[in-house]
Amino acid sequence: MSISENIRTIQTRITTACYVINRNPAEVKVLLATKTIQPPLLIEALDSGMFLFGENRIQEALPKVQALDGRGVEWHFIGHLQSNKVADAIGFAQCIQSVDRPSIIKSLHKELEKSSKIMDIMIEVNVSGEASKSGCTPDGVEELCRQIDTSVLNVVGFMTIGANTDDEVIVRRGFAKLRRIQAQAIEKEWVRESATELSMGMSHDLEWAVQEGSTMVRVGSAVFGNRKI
């Protein structure tokens, strides 16, 4: 299958999932997770109308950002972020989706104060409680939000990685939890009302995420094929 066919399949899956719950498919953006994928395939995806790309590793992102310069890509950072890589992330990403701990917020403040930039971020929450996953605990969201200097950081929403199981009930429960956390954060004014993004759902569980309110699915293997690593 070609990349353009795979993208069409993703869009059909989203439309079908939306149809079931009477949701407008236009509310769901597709971000392509581009780890291990080289520029020629990324250009094919751009030619198929995709422009939201997410990278996990700074070292891997920088040459790709350069190779695709001028093509209108909106880069997000979606991987585990280290404090010493924050300056690089700010340099190319329009949004950092993986903000999950105070030390990263501190580093972001420090770097952003040097520039006059305001950075879009999402709070990554570990809704499944799996030890292998990044993300702050659901109970830690309030405290994390309180540490954010809103003059330099703009929280646009929340991100999570679904539970590592094919049990629909468990996976959907996690996505529903992120949605509740977001609603609560807005209601209690931990974040602004504009923090509406829910970045959740990947190749294997995007229908469940869409049905639980996802506004952005992050898709890699279903578009580019299985990664070797």
Ligand X SMILES: *Cc1c(COP(=O)(O)O)cnc(C)c1O
Note the residues at the interface with ligand X (CB under 6 A): 33, 35, 56, 78, 161, 202-204, 218-222
- H helix runs in 78-202, sequence order: 86-92, 102-114, 141-146, 168-187
Burial class (CB in 10 A: 0-12, 13-18, 19+), 12: exposed
Q: How many angstroms separate the Cα of 57 from the Cα of each of 86, 89, 177, 190, 229?
A: 11, 9, 27, 29, 13
Q: Please identify the residue of the shown chain whose CB is closest to the bound ligand X.
A: 220
Rounded CA separation 189/76 (Å):
25
What is the SS3 assignment for 217? strand
Closest to ligand X by CB, 192 vs 204, is: 204
Closest to ligand X by CB, 182 vs 199, is: 199
Taking the complex as a whole, the smallest distance from the CB of residue 65 to ligand X amounts, in Å, to 17
Taking the complex as a whole, the smallest distance from the CB of residue 94 to ligand X amounts, in Å, to 16
Taking the complex as a whole, the smallest distance from the CB of residue 41 to ligand X amounts, in Å, to 13
Taking the complex as a whole, the smallest distance from the CB of residue 204 to ligand X amounts, in Å, to 6
Closest CA to 54 of 97, 107, 83: 97
> Residues near 175 by Cβ (< 8 Å), separated by ≥ 6?
127, 160, 162, 200, 201, 208, 209, 212, 213, 214
Taking the complex as a whole, the smallest distance from the CB of residue 172 to ligand X amounts, in Å, to 17
Six token digits for residue 129: 């409680």
- H helix runs in 85-167, sequence order: 86-92, 102-114, 141-146
Taking the complex as a whole, the smallest distance from the CB of residue 53 to ligand X amounts, in Å, to 11
